[in-house]
Structure 1
Amino acid sequence: MDSYLIVTVSGSIESSEELADLAGLLVSMGREYGLTRALLKEYRLTKNVDALDIYSVGESQVSVEAAAMGARVACLPNPDEIQLAHTLETVLCNRSVNYRIFEDEETAVAWLTS
């Protein structure tokens, strides 16, 4: 899109390193396209991580970079992993990363483009 990236992710994430790699990819793509907003579609993504893994990503350099660049990420998580998605949202927001989860794409896009 003209004002935000659309990223569809499927498969599984098995570690904090893989979760940080995904975040790093989003930051890199944002820089490449000159965009700071992204719609992350994770309907078919399984995250086999725990709260400590999420906290590690929140403390990582990629989170610092995302916050510094003013990134805004709307995530449509796998419905089976909504609790984990809320944990990620809380940790990233506490690290000044503007990351929110949504249940429907229309609401997510409205937030991204506001």
Structure 2
Amino acid sequence: MTVIVDNQPVITRTERGLTISGTRITLYQLMDYIHANYPRRLIRHQFYLTDEQFDVAMSYIDAHYEEVELEYQTVLQQAEEIRQYWEERNKERIAYIAKLPPKTEYQSAWQKLLSRKAKRAAINQ
């Protein structure tokens, strides 16, 4: 679905989802800020959008809120699934790296860190 303003498409569906034409900004990125209760003026300045781009994007979101919200929730769910997949996949690798001894070239820095941790622990007791 594309919204046409003055013979120029402003909201376009791409492989990334509903996108503001001429940018890589998706409506889902705007929805993140809307859900965080950011003022509209701040959202516009955060993404460096023109008044026309921002007004068309917000009017599209307002006019098709249920549709955009449903897609937004789907995007959030997919992002969480991807995050969990990579977290699980890298769990063993991260545990292995955590058990490695420090490299010899970092030995003096490591000793300083351990001594400062010991001092801090002594102060906090």
User: Which of the pair has more CA radius of gyration?
Assistant: 2
In proportion to residue count, which structure has more strand? 1
In proportion to residue count, which structure has more helix? 2
Q: TM-score, normalised by structure 1?
A: 0.25
Q: TM-score, normalised by structure 2?
A: 0.24
The structure, 1 or 2, with the larger RCO (C-alpha pairs under 8 Å, 6+ apart) is: 1
